[in-house]
């Protein structure tokens, strides 16, 4: 692998949920103009790329994850010229652009689907997965939708069922049809030509389903979806040649990147999708789902790294648009000390860090109190067992003005009530804020190649309180020490005289760490 700085391996990727980042035309929904207006903020934070959750036209049943046109921008976010401006302005600041491609399914309003369901003789009929009912009228097999109910929806006009893994408004396309495959590969080319640097592939390991549509075998679980072994509707072998073809397209452009969201897969299986002729990276969820314990994080990190082959590089995240924010899960009330440790861990363990917008200021999820407030359909469906994903999608908190400076209009989701204390402007002016702490860690990471692509060597196995490891690159190394506990703890440094990258202090032998303290040391030369 290349030794010099490689943006998607050594840099930091920042995920933006465009509806909630910044609203430039005051309609209550974030947009591209809003993102452009915050590029200076992102540059100053020190990130190298932004991943935008989908910005294609969408009826918003699943807020952008139901696309009705792959080659355009949804007017609520702006026009193509705004996107072109975003690319230009981002490039000027050294920020790469990663688009979210949702190619497993389209919206049921996509012209392809409308045509597909117009008649069985339509040239696009086979672009989706249609099957006759069983003789008794039942769906073709036992497959379930992860968003609830059977995965088959009956269309009375055609007298056939179509398949959808998510909502019924998100029909899965038929990737086995060569025209579909060609049309989808053209989507990559279209955006690459515009200057996009990379893609995040939504649930890519669902593209292919078992050709014979065999029933999944039963297993014990709570929801109907979990009561099956997903061997026929997930992770089919046809994905590997397709990834190779995608990679060939990507490699026709300089330093591009594809990261895949893997659905229902362990570390070993996820790793099979990553490498020189496959994806550059894939998301593995265990690290983010850990409870607060240093051994848990250490083991997930080691497991993920060990599963990957030589030509692959790990990545890590603690939050995204589908899960509760890390500060919500790990912190008590408004105390940010665990958020600091979490941020330091994310930025210093081996792997490309992904920061979800707002986590750099420790945003907390908005509470979802009533079913009637829920916008995310899975929250409505599974209420009150699961309240949906609105909590982590609330507007970015920029300052203490009304609506947190996100918009002059009522935002599409409420702003967190803590915004007058917790916002970017306030944290910029407080030298001890989480934001300034994160910035400092990022600048240290940028200055130390060992923290970017160095090896990862744990200093304590099965730690109870202190996560300590070394990042080593040739003759250079950095020691990272994170106190996960609310008490003081001693830590024995390896032999040598060290200097702290955090506070400049020198240290040898045993050091004492304050509650939730983060230390980074280099050997003195």
From residue 295 to residue 324, the character string flagging contacts with ligand GLC as x (rule: CB under 6 A) and all else as - is --------------------------xx--
Placement of tokens 């979490």 in the chain? 342
203 binds ligand GLC (CB under 6 A): yes
CB of 389 to ligand GLC, least distance (A): 7
100, with CB counted inside 10 A (0-12, 13-18, 19+), is buried
Q: Is 390 in the site for ligand GLC (CB under 6 A)?
A: no
Binding footprint of ligand GLC, residue count (CB under 6 A): 9
Best CA proximity match to 392, nearest among 478, 317, 451, 473: 317
Residues that bind Ca ion (CB under 5 A): 23, 25, 27, 29, 31
Site for ligand GLC in 100-129 (CB under 6 A): 102
- Environment class of 40 (CB within 10 Å of its CB; exposed 0-12, middle 13-18, buried 19+): exposed
Q: Which does 102 bind (CB under 5 to 8 A by kind): Ca ion, ligand GLC, none?
A: ligand GLC
Residue nearer to Ca ion on the CB measure, 126 or 399: 399
* Strands of the sheet with 506-507, listed across from one edge: 455-458, 466-473, 476-483, 518-523, 498-500, 506-507
Among 40, 37, 21, 39, CA closest to 29:
21
Shortest separation between residue 53's beta carbon and ligand GLC, angstroms? 8
Q: Which two tokens stand for residue 112?
A: 């392809």
Indicate the DSSP class of residue 25: S
Nearest alpha carbon to residue 213 among 190, 187, 188, 236:
236
197 binds, among ligand GLC, Ca ion, none (CB under 5 to 8 A by kind): none
Question: Residue of minimal CB distance from ligand GLC?
Answer: 65
Q: Is 65 in the site for ligand GLC (CB under 6 A)?
A: yes
Q: Which two tokens mark 39?
A: 């590029």
Separation of alpha carbons 115 and 119, rounded Å = 7
468, 511 Cβ separation under 8 angstroms: no
Which token pair is 20? 């909630």
* Candidates 31, 62, 169, 202; catalytic one: 202
Binding-site partner at residue 322 among Ca ion, ligand GLC, none, CB < 5 to 8 Å by type:
ligand GLC
The interface with ligand GLC within residues 257-296 (CB under 6 A) comprises: 261
Our CB check for ligand GLC shows the closer of 322 and 373 to be: 322
Q: How far is the CB of 160 from ligand GLC (least distance, A)?
A: 23
Query: Shortest gap between Cβ of 258 and Ca ion (angstroms)?
Result: 29
From the list ligand GLC, Ca ion, none, partner contacted by residue 286 (C-beta under 5 to 8 A by kind)? none
What are the residues facing 499 on neighbouring strands? Answer: 506, 522
166 makes contact with ligand GLC (CB under 6 A): yes
Task: At 491, give phi and psi (nearest 5°).
Answer: -140, 135
Those residues whose C-beta lies under 8 Å from the C-beta of residue 337, and which sit 6 or more positions away, are 331, 486, 515, 516
Whichever of 33 and 139 has its CB closer to Ca ion, that residue is 33
- Which residue of the set 48, 233, 261, 365 is catalytic? 261
* Nearest one of 176, 177, 152, 181 to 164, comparing CA atoms: 152
Count CB atoms within 10 A of the CB of residue 219. 10
Regarding 99 and contact with ligand GLC (CB under 6 A), the answer is no
| 211 in catalytic set | no
The residue from 31, 60, 202, 305 that contacts ligand GLC (CB under 6 A) is: 202
Please confirm, yes or no, whether 202 is among the known catalytic residues. Answer: yes
CB closer to ligand GLC, 50 vs 466: 50
Active centre residues (catalytic): 202, 261
Sites of contact with ligand GLC (CB under 6 A): 62, 65, 102, 166, 202-203, 261, 321-322
């Amino acid at each position: 692998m290349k030794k010099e700085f490689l943006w998607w391996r050594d840099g930091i990727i920042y995920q933006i949920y465009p509806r909630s980042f910044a609203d430039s035309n005051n309609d209550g929904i974030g947009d591209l103009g809003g993102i452009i207006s915050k590029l200076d903020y992102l540059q100053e934070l020190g990130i190298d790329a932004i991943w935008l959750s989908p910005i294609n036209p969408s009826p918003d049943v699943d807020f952008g994850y139901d696309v009705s046109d792959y080659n355009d921008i949804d007017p609520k976010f702006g026009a193509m010229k705004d996107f072109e401006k975003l690319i230009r302005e981002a490039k000027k600041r050294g920020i790469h652009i990663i688009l979210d491609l949702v190619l497993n399914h389209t919206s049921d309003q996509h012209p392809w689907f409308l045509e597909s369901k117009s008649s069985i003789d339509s040239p696009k009929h086979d672009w989706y997965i249609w099957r006759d009912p069983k003789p008794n009228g039942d769906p073709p097999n036992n497959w379930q939708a992860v968003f609830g109910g059977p995965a088959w929806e009956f269309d009375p006009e055609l007298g056939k069922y179509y398949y959808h893994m998510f909502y019924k408004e998100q029909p899965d396309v038929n990737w086995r049809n060569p025209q579909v495959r060609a049309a989808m590969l053209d989507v990559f080319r279209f955006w690459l030509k515009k200057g996009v640097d990379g893609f995040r592939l939504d649930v890519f390991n669902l593209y292919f389903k078992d050709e014979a549509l065999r029933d999944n075998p039963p297993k014990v679980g709570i929801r109907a979806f979990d009561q099956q072994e997903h061997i026929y509707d997930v992770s089919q072998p046809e994905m590997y040649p397709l990834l190779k073809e995608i990679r060939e397209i990507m490699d026709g452009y300089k330093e591009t990147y594809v990261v895949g969201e893997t659905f229902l897969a362990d570390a070993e299986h996820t790793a099979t999708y990553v490498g020189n002729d496959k994806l550059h990276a894939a998301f593995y969820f265990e690290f983010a789902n850990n409870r607060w314990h240093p051994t848990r994080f250490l083991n997930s990190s080691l497991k993920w790294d060990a599963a990957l082959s030589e030509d692959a590089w790990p990545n890590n995240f603690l939050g995204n648009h589908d899960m509760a924010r890390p500060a919500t899960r790990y912190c008590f009330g408004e105390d940010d000390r665990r958020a600091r440790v979490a941020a330091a861990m994310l930025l210093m363990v081996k792997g490309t860090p992904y920061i979800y917008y707002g986590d750099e200021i420790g945003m907390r999820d908005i509470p979802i109190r009533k079913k009637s407030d829920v916008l995310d359909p899975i929250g409505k469906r599974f209420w009150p067992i699961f309240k949906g994903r609105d909590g982590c999608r609330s507007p970015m908190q920029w300052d203490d003005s009304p609506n947190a400076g996100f918009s002059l209009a009522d935002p599409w989701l409420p702003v967190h009530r803590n915004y007058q204390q917790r916002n970017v402007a306030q944290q910029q002016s407080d030298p001890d804020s989480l934001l300034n702490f994160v910035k400092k860690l990022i600048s240290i990471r940028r200055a130390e190649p060992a923290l970017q692509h160095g090896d990862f060597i744990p200093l304590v196995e099965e730690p109870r309180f202190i996560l300590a490891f070394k990042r080593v690159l040739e003759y250079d190394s950095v020691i990272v020490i994170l106190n996960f506990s609310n008490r003081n703890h001693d830590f024995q440094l390896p032999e040598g005289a060290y200097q702290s990258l955090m506070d400049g202090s020198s240290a040898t032998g045993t050091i004492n760490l304050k509650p939730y303290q983060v230390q980074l040391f280099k050997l003195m030369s």
